[in-house]
Amino acid sequence: MKTTILRAAAALSLAAVALLAPTAANAYVDPSAAIATPSTIAPGQTSTFTTNGAPFTNDEDILISITGENASGATLGMVKTAIETNTVLHTRAKAGALDVPIAFPSNAIGTYDLTFTGTVSGKVLHARVVVSKESASPAANTLAKTGIDGGTTAGLWIAGGALIITGAAVGVGAVLRRRRPATA
């Protein structure tokens, strides 16, 4: 009976680790990613792409590739309905850093993947922008919505708490069972 309780405790511990492991994986920040500000826009709006630091060489030319619906209509600083790749855009790094606004077409919709390639350094950075009809700029004096809503993770917190309480109950039961005198 003692081994059954230990096996149950071990199984619960493994389940808790499997449930909480994705949380640690989400903390990774890709060093080869350009930062899109804002990352979700409405059709016809502009998103500015920047980098932390200076991954490119001085003022090198940067080729920009955009893949998404109506990508040929995207311009620096509008009209087809197929998924396209626009490779005619380019800009220059400013002291090795990327800082370029890109205007998306008024009929843009969906996810757009961007690739920024330095012609001298060969450095490749990636970014993603979501164009949605529901997105709008935040009102004055308010913060933009970023990340995930705490309400969407409530189920995970409840499940994690239940696992911890169950594990503690199993552990207490095992300790009490061992201390109980044997009766014949």
Summarised one tens digit per residue, pLDDT across range 164-175 is 999 999 999 888
Amino acid type, 103: A
The mean pLDDT of 139-168, rounded to a whole number, is 75
In this prediction, residue 74 carries a pLDDT of 66
Task: Report angle CA 102, 98, 109 to the nearest 5 degrees.
Answer: 25
Q: Say if residue 115 is in the same domain as residue 171.
A: no
Provide the CATH number for the domain around residue 125. Answer: 2.60.40.10
| Reported pTM | 0.53
H or E segment and range at residue 67:
strand 61-69
Tally of domains in the chain: 2
Q: Say if residue 39 is in the same domain as residue 23.
A: no
Q: Which CA distances in Å does 141 have to 2, 46, 138, 144?
A: 61, 20, 8, 10
Q: Say if residue 43 is in the same domain as residue 124.
A: yes
Q: Say if residue 96 is in the same domain as residue 124.
A: yes
Q: Say if residue 62 is in the same domain as residue 108.
A: yes
Tokens encoding 90: 């380019």
Domain with 12, as residue range(s), is 2-27+150-179
Q: Say if residue 19 is in the same domain as residue 82.
A: no
Q: Does any domain span residue 143?
A: no
